[in-house]
C-alpha cells in the first residue's frame, strides 16, 4: 500500500523539503543565539510514525525528519544522532523485510553488500568525529547540511 504513495512524490517531496529547510534554519538560529533551553521531547510517537512513513514511501525521511526535528527542539546532538541511527536500523530492517517479502527479490545482493560495507566503513569515522567535534560546531554543520540538501531537493522538484 505504501509503495502506491510514490505516485504523490511531486507533493510529498516539496513539503518534506520545506519542513527540513525550516528545521535547518531553526538549528542554525539556535547555534547563533546565546542560551539554549532544553525541552522534554513530546509526541515522539507521532514523529516516529511520520519519519517511518516517509522512509517507507520514498526511501528516505527517517534521518532528516526525525534528527532535524529533535535537534531543533534542543536535544543534545550526540544523543540524537546515535539514538536516531540505532532506531533507523530497525525501521530499515522492518521496511526491507516487508518489501522483500511482499514484492520479492531479484539480484539485490550487490546493493545490499555495498550498503553494508559503506556503513561498516563510515560508522567508526562518524563516531570518532562526533566525539571530537564541538557541540556548537556540530549543530552548525548539521544545520547547514540540512538547509543545503533541503534546497537542492526543493529545487529539483521545481525544475
Which one-letter DSSP state was computed for residue 5? G
Predicted confidence at residue 148, as pLDDT, reads 93
Arithmetic mean of pLDDT over the chain = 77
Residue 40: Cβ-neighbour burial (10 angstroms; 0-12, 13-18, 19+) = exposed
Residue 55, class by beta-carbon neighbours within 10 Å (0-12 exposed, 13-18 middle, 19+ buried)? buried
Mean pLDDT of 72-81: 75
Q: What's residue 23's pLDDT? A: 84
pLDDT bin (cut points 50, 70, 90) of residue 52 is confident
Percentage of the chain lying above the pLDDT 70 cut: 79
> What's the half-sphere exposure (Cβ side, CA atoms, 13 Å) at 4?
1
The confidence score (pLDDT) of residue 105 equals: 63
What pTM, to 2 d.p., does this model score?
0.62
The residues spanned by each domain of the chain are 2-158
Judge contact between 92 and 55, C-beta under 8 A: yes
Nearest partner of 21 among 131, 155, 149, judged by Cα: 149
Amino acid at each position: 500500500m505504501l509503495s502506491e504513495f510514490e505516485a504523490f512524490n511531486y507533493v510529498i517531496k516539496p513539503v518534506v523539503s520545506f519542513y527540513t529547510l525550516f528545521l535547518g534554519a531553526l538549528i542554525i538560529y539556535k547555534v547563533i543565539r546565546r542560551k539554549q533551553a532544553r525541552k522534554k521531547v513530546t509526541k515522539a510517537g507521532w514523529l516516529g510514525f511520520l519519519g517511518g512513513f516517509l522512509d517507507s514511501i520514498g526511501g528516505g525521511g527517517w534521518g532528516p525528519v526525525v534528527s532535524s526535528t529533535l535537534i531543533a527542539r534542543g536535544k543534545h546532538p550526540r544523543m540524537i544522532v546515535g539514538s536516531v541511527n540505532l532506531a533507523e536500523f530497525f525501521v530499515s530492517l522492518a521496511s526491507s523485510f516487508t518489501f522483500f517479502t511482499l514484492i520479492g527479490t531479484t539480484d539485490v545482493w550487490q546493493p545490499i553488500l555495498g550498503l553494508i560495507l559503506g556503513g561498516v566503513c563510515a560508522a567508526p569515522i562518524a563516531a570518532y568525529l562526533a566525539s571530537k567535534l564541538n557541540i556548537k560546531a556540530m549543530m552548525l554543520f548539521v544545520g547547514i547540511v540540512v538547509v543545503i540538501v533541503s534546497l537542492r531537493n526543493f529545487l529539483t522538484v521545481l525544475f
